[in-house]
């Protein structure tokens, strides 16, 4: 079976993805940029990304050591709770962390997310439903949302 990241050009589309230098190796993709955040799980990380891109994984189970401010970590934790195939808004995330007026700060914290896709900031949209702002480009955010929508009931 072909690797999901090689299938249909996904590798080339996601290989320059923000901090995420995803490449293939003997048994699947390895997430090179996660080596600084992922505790002892390089192969498993790649396997989980393969499953995600093949529509078989809905959430990641990785032991990550993420560096950030307390505020950023609150935001990233709240975003990690957004279910696969669903979205939330910057305002809802700010309410969840206890500061309704911090919607712009939530966006800023997400722009510093070192584990995009795993901490799924692509699931956060504007209150009016518009899709905006994503380190990997809005087109990737749209692709990830469509990918999850297509595979959420599998």
Catalytic (active-site) positions: 121
Copy the structure tokens of residue 133.
Answer: 């702002």
| HEC profile of the chain | CCCCCCHHHHHHHHCCECCECEEEECCEEEEHHHHHCECCCHHHHHHHHHHHHCCCCCCCCCCECCCCCHHHHHHHHHHHCCCCCCCEEHHHHHHHCCCHHHHHHHHHHHHCCCCCCCCCHHHEECCCCCCCCCCCCHHHHHHHHHHHHHHCCC
Q: How many CA atoms are closer than 13 Å to the CA of 129, on its beta-carbon side? A: 0
């Amino acid at each position: 079976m072909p690797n999901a990241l090689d299938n249909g050009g996904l590798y080339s589309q996601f290989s320059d993805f923000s901090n995420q230098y995803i490449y293939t190796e003997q048994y699947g993709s390895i997430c090179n940029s996660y080596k600084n955040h992922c505790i002892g799980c390089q192969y498993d990380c790649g396997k989980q990304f393969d499953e995600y891109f093949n529509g078989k994984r809905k959430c990641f189970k990785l032991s990550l050591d993420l560096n950030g401010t307390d505020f950023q970590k609150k935001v990233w934790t709240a975003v990690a709770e957004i279910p696969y195939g669903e979205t939330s808004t910057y305002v809802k995330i700010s309410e969840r962390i206890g500061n309704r007026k911090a919607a712009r700060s939530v966006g800023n914290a997400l722009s510093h997310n070192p584990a995009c896709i795993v901490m799924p900031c692509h699931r956060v949209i504007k209150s009016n439903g518009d899709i905006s702002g994503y380190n990997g480009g809005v087109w990737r955010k749209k692709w990830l949302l469509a990918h999850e929508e297509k595979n959420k009931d599998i």
